[in-house]
Amino acid sequence: MTEEIPAGCARPTGGPTGEKPVEEVVLEKSEIKEEKIMIRVGRKAPDFTAPGYQKGKFINASLSDYLGKWVVLCFYPGDFTFV
C-alpha cells in the first residue's frame, strides 16, 4: 500500500522487497578489495572529474582545474533539501 512520507532532509530511497534474492557467493580476487582510507589532512585530495552546472552552462569539472586556488569542496544530501 502506498503511504505518505514526511519530508525531511535525508531523502528516502527504495529497494527490493519480498523474498530475498539468492545471493551468489562467488569470490573473485578482484572483488576482495581492501578499502583504503584516502582522506587525511596534509595529504593530496583525490582528484576527480564530474559533470556539473555553472552559470547557465553544463560543464565537466575536475578538482585539478583549481590547482593554484583555495577550494572548498562541499557535499550535501540533495538539491531542494531544507538546510
Partner 1 sequence: MSVSIDSIFVHKMWDDNELSKMVEQGIPFPMLSDGGGRVGKIYGIYDEDAGVETRGRFIIDPDGIIQGYEVLTPPVGRNVMETFRQIQAFQPVRKSKGTQATPSGWKPGKMTLKPGPDLVGKVCDIWKPSMAFE
- Residue closer to partner 1 (CB basis): 29 or 43: 43
Give least dist CB 30 to partner 1, A: 17
Which residues are at the interface with partner 1 (CB under 8 A)? 8-11, 13, 37-48, 50-55, 58-59, 61, 63-64, 66-81, 83
- Residue closer to partner 1 (CB basis): 16 or 80: 80
| C-alpha triplet 5, 7, 13: angle, nearest 5° | 65
Tell me how far apart the alpha carbons of residues 25 and 20 are, in angstroms, rounded to a whole number: 14
Instruction: Find the radius of gyration of the CA atoms of the chain.
Output: 20
- Residue closer to partner 1 (CB basis): 22 or 73: 73
Cα torsion 54, 55, 59, 63: sign? negative
Give least dist CB 20 to partner 1, A: 17
